[in-house]
Amino acid sequence: MYLHIVMMKFDPAPDPAFIAQVQAHCQRVREECGGLVSYDFRTNEASRSDGLDYATVSLFTDAAAHDAYQVSAAHVAMKADMLPRIQRLAVFDGTLESALKQ
């Protein structure tokens, strides 16, 4: 399994219309991208988030599925809509070794 997390700070802060637009993009990603186990856009509940108040959290079957997602039309469209409002972001990508041993 391959985990991809993108934590973001938006400026201006997301309004309900923006959140709905992002959720629509997430649905498109779920429908179009192969090798996807889970894909969600959520509010970061951590009090220590350092302003990174939202995240996309995704789980792929493997790194190749993640790589294909990165260049997919669904992901490219999502980034095009979100990037103008992203003030800062942090990314984690990595293989979940414990998932491979189960």
Residue with tokens 């309004």: 15
Residue 9: inside a domain, yes or no?
A: yes
pTM, to two decimals: 0.91
76: domain range?
2-96
Burial of 35 (0-12, 13-18, 19+ CB in 10 A): middle
Checking if the pLDDT of 102 tops 60, the result is no
pLDDT in tens, 27-84: 999 999 999 999 999 999 999 999 999 999 999 999 999 999 999 999 999 999 999 9
| Total domains present in the chain | 1
97 band by pLDDT with thresholds 50, 70 and 90? confident
The CATH code of the domain that includes 16 is 3.30.70.100
Checking if the pLDDT of 99 tops 80, the result is no
Residue 102: inside a domain, yes or no?
A: no
Residue 101: inside a domain, yes or no?
A: no
Look at residue 98 in the predicted model and tell me its pLDDT: 75
